[in-house]
Amino acid sequence: MGVLQGKKALVCGGSEGIGLASAQALAALGAEVTVLARRAGPLQAALAVLADAHGQHHRMMVADVLALEDVLPDIGGAGFDILINNSAGPAGGALLEATDAQLLAVFQQHVIANQQLLQAVAPHMRAMRWGRIVNIISTSVKEPIAMLGVSNTIRGAVAAWAKTLAGELAADGITVNNVLPGYTRTQRLDQILKERAAAAGKSEDAITAAMLATVPAGRFADAAEVAHAVAFLCQPQSGYINGINLPVDGGRTKSL
């Protein structure tokens, strides 16, 4: 029997990349997983690869985190024990050049959406006196990343949001933690490589080599390695780990 047998998990951005890998890791531990994303096709493909060795019935939910109002009642009524907040990062660029509209849209996508989801799932978690909330954000909350100005700003806001909630919800048996992926082989990394190559007038291979030179492990992460950290924080044995930022970055982050 898996350690998460009988638990229900909602994984946002669960149709691909780190979100899908996290859904797979939680399912392998016995959780019944609902994957949420904007497009039905990729969600159906995600369901097809989720492990069901423990007899779970996995589900999908089509929704955009920028417009959650219609699905929040269903989320609140589903009895989720685990919430994985995961949403695509914003486009790169200097913070000085960011518009009000860009900042507001990304704040809505990450902070407001997380808050809406929290308020939907918290009543069940508090009633059960058990819950796990994990936010997949970025190492930029420890060290801002050049030319990701909007992302640095909003990811920091999510980290502060999570740390505040960790204190508010701990007495109810609910933990709130952040996983900070480093350079991970996903569509997001492909986007960053293209943007940096175009901005610098260099090849993507040159940009890749420069990025890897800053990683002691000398390689990019697999999404499954980040998902392992997510699943670890969701296990019952991790109940005394609360309010932390856990980098999964091959040793790249220099701060303690």
Model confidence pLDDT, tens digit, residues 245-256 = 999 999 999 998
Do 231 and 189 have their domain in common?
A: no
Mean pLDDT along residues 17-34:
96
Confidence tier at 63 by pLDDT (50, 70, 90): very high
Q: How does pLDDT run across 140-179, given as a tens digit for each residue?
A: 999 999 889 999 999 999 999 999 999 999 999 999 999 9
Do 93 and 194 have their domain in common?
A: no
Do 55 and 123 have their domain in common?
A: yes
Q: Is residue 211 part of a domain?
A: yes
Query: Structure pTM?
Result: 0.95
> What is the total count of domains within the chain?
2
Do 178 and 193 have their domain in common?
A: no
Q: Is residue 1 part of a domain?
A: no
pLDDT reading at 53 higher than 70: no
Q: How does pLDDT run across 94-129, given as a tens digit for each residue?
A: 999 999 999 999 999 999 999 999 999 999 999 999
Do 102 and 153 have their domain in common?
A: yes
Do 68 and 54 have their domain in common?
A: yes
What integer pLDDT is reported at residue 51 of this predicted model?
A: 65
Size of the chain in residues: 256
Q: How does pLDDT run across 68-85, given as a tens digit for each residue?
A: 999 999 999 999 999 999
Do 147 and 70 have their domain in common?
A: yes
Q: Domain range holding 134? A: 8-182+222-244
A 10 A CB-CB count for 132 gives 28
Q: Enumerate residues 6+ apart whose C-beta is below 8 A from 250.
A: 182, 183, 215, 216, 217, 218, 219, 221
Do 177 and 187 have their domain in common?
A: no
Q: Is residue 142 part of a domain?
A: yes
Do 155 and 199 have their domain in common?
A: no
Question: H helices within the chain, ranges in order?
Answer: 17-28, 40-49, 72-77, 100-107, 113-128, 149-169, 187-200, 204-212, 223-234
Confidence tier at 199 by pLDDT (50, 70, 90): confident
Do 201 and 120 have their domain in common?
A: no
